[in-house]
Structure 1
């Protein structure tokens, strides 16, 4: 029996490839071609420099349908809003404390989570890669073990490597474990982080003039733990209670304040 006879195509449909701030339209087309050869079709583009474009069409070859249905987003947060797992493809960074996955392990993680909700692989700009802010929206990193003497991998080639690993894991889908929890979506996490920043500023724990450094560290902390929907609700309840207690204390000290 052909391996694809029992493999669930819905799993691949729940895996999106996200390209952020892509400079050259030809790379978008080549990435679309790499995806289609491995059965992936969900392409998301975050603030591409040029798209649509004839160079993208030419490099896509027979993957024009992937380009035609590509979704263009203004921000990475928008592209990840409904996902429960986002893996950022990046070279190993000493300043980033996060679990780093190999491509085969990343493929299994994606397929596991894709059984319940959309997931994403995120690729950065061709020259600068992913920014700290973009990495802060991802729960894990993926690194391709390239030649350390020449590790510059073309964007489409990186997409091809990861897409291949996903397909190989998909073909061996019988060993794919079930998701361990009802994970929070990207949109739910972003609302939590916004609430957390507001609450910490009200509690005078966070400097409102320069909150980004601490918030980035807190994002990485929670990304390492992974948060379930229920856990996000609990944490937001705690924040709301802390805000209420702070406001009540201020009101008691200044009863005439409006």
Structure 2
């Protein structure tokens, strides 16, 4: 589970913070670090020094130009936010985030991204609107400033607690080991376990996996183009329309089939609009 949790740092300015983040991750068993447009050198001597032996994470950390590229293959994206926003968004505590992870990562190809912003300004509203939910660390309101690596450490710790809670316990150490399962049976058992976990959380077994972040972004681009063509959305006077629609669909967590259906509806709408007589009302 831990190997499929990605820590994403956006616009980090101080190399030491990148190194300290790698150390915090390694302490808790996380290894997937992604950097978006860093303003500091991620493999400088200071970064390596602050990593304190976790520099392997630094050397393997890819650098991206934007958030969308860094989380394209993730099914759940959670942004760390220290401030309240004009447009409310689903908010999690670190503990609630950790408790949610086993179900989110039940399938072998599922990935989760935890996104952290710049040391001075955090995440922009546009970046936060690309997240399914926000996570807020309940610090002392009289002194809420939290170092970037310390924030990563708190969330990484909750991730590890959730992972430890789902490790099998050796209740009968003297019992004979169970015979090895055939590969096909093992795969079926894993699939059944994933389905059972999903059912325990959502109350029903689901038939398709959640849409990836890349699928959602393509849908939002398609939706905006269609709404502009219909003259329902004026990009010069947005009035938070796309932000509210993002919040709606992010909260709904559509699966891959649902996204395909929605995009099919948009394509049919575009086709109908393009062939409509200009005199029609």
Could you state the TM-score of these two structures normalised by the residue count of structure 1? Answer: 0.89
The match for 1:106 is: 97
In the alignment, the residues of structure 2 paired with residue 22 and residue 228 of structure 1 have an alpha-carbon distance, to the nearest angstrom, of 32
The match for 1:34 is: 24
Pick from 71, 82, 89: which aligns with 2:80?
89
In the alignment, the residues of structure 1 paired with residue 73 and residue 138 of structure 2 have an alpha-carbon distance, to the nearest angstrom, of 30
1:46 CA displacement: 0.5
Deviates more, 1:164-173 or 1:244-253: 244-253
Q: Is the 8 A contact 1:44 1:71 kept in 2?
A: yes
Pick from 178, 199, 211: which aligns with 2:197?
178
User: The residue matched to 2:228 in structure 1 has which SS?
Assistant: helix
Confirm or deny that 1:13 pairs with 2:13.
no
Distance change >3 Å, CA 171–CA 101, structure 1 → 2: same
The match for 2:175 is: none
- Encode CA deviations 1:40-98: one digit per residue, 9 max, x unaligned: 00000000002232211111011011111111111000011000001111124141322
Q: Is the 8 A contact 1:85 1:110 kept in 2?
A: no
User: The residue matched to 1:178 in structure 2 has which SS?
Assistant: helix
In the alignment, the residues of structure 2 paired with residue 29 and residue 250 of structure 1 have an alpha-carbon distance, to the nearest angstrom, of 61
Confirm or deny that 1:136 pairs with 2:129.
yes
Deviates more, 1:27-36 or 1:108-117: 108-117
Deviates more, 1:205-214 or 1:68-77: 205-214
Q: Is the 8 A contact 1:111 1:166 kept in 2?
A: no
Q: Is the 8 A contact 2:25 2:31 kept in 1?
A: yes
In structure 2, list runs of 5 or more residues that go unmatched.
Answer: 169-193
Confirm or deny that 1:62 pairs with 2:53.
yes
Q: Is the 8 A contact 2:117 2:123 kept in 1?
A: yes
The match for 2:40 is: 50
Give RMSD over aligned pairs: 1.9
Q: Is the 8 A contact 2:8 2:33 kept in 1?
A: yes
Deviates more, 1:106-115 or 1:19-28: 106-115
User: The residue matched to 2:197 in structure 1 has which SS?
Assistant: coil
Match runs of 1:68-83 below 5 Å: 68-83=59-74
In structure 1, list runs of 5 or more residues that go unmatched.
Answer: 1-10, 254-258
1:228 CA displacement: 0.9
Q: How many residues align?
A: 243
Could you state the TM-score of these two structures normalised by the residue count of structure 2? Answer: 0.82
Q: Is the 8 A contact 2:101 2:162 kept in 1?
A: no
1:252 CA displacement: 7.1
Q: Is the 8 A contact 1:87 1:141 kept in 2?
A: yes
The match for 1:193 is: 220
Q: Is the 8 A contact 2:8 2:113 kept in 1?
A: yes
Distance change >3 Å, CA 212–CA 63, structure 1 → 2: farther
In the alignment, the residues of structure 1 paired with residue 262 and residue 105 of structure 2 have an alpha-carbon distance, to the nearest angstrom, of 25
- Encode CA deviations 1:121-142: one digit per residue, 9 max, x unaligned: 1111111011011101100110
